[in-house]
């Protein structure tokens, strides 16, 4: 724990600014969440190549493609969440009845395959 000058109160954290970057957004092609991953990867790489071609003094390793990933329910598009610990079936989805029905069907199929 770092110490600070005695100000009569508790020590406060120091703010450090790190991981500086410039981000260039690549807009979707109006297809929303169903945008093909390969298409978007190609579009991002094209944009990256354009930046490298038109901006002097930029190292090619400094221009990278980053993407946020989020697991979602294929039925309701909610963030994928599981039932709380202690629920009888590990991995049971918490978001919607369709996902729960699909999970129950998958468990039943696995059980039939074992028998």
72 phi/psi in degrees, rounded to 5: -130, 160
41-99 pLDDT, tens per residue?
A: 888 899 999 999 999 988 888 899 888 888 889 889 899 888 887 777 777 888 889 99
pLDDT beyond 80 at 106: yes
What is d(CA 38, CA 17) in angstroms, rounded to the nearest whole number?
34
Give the total residue count for the chain: 115
What's the Cα-to-Cα distance from 23 to each of 26, 43, 44, 62, 63, rounded to whole Å? 10, 15, 12, 12, 9
* Residues 77/82/87/88 CA torsion (nearest 10 deg): 80
Instruction: Grade residue 3 by pLDDT with cuts at 50, 70 and 90.
Output: very low
């Amino acid at each position: 724990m770092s110490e600070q000058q005695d100000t009569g109160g508790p020590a406060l954290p120091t703010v450090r600014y790190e991981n500086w970057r410039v981000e260039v957004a690549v807009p979707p092609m109006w297809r929303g969440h169903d945008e093909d991953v390969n298409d978007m990867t190609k579009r991002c790489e094209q944009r990256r190549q354009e930046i490298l071609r038109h901006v002097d003094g930029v190292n090619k390793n400094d221009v990278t493609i980053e993407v946020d990933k989020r697991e979602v329910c294929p039925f309701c598009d909610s963030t994928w969440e599981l039932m709380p610990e202690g629920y009888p079936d590990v991995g049971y989805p918490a978001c919607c009845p369709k996902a729960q029905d699909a999970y129950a069907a998958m468990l039943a199929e696995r059980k039939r395959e074992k028998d």
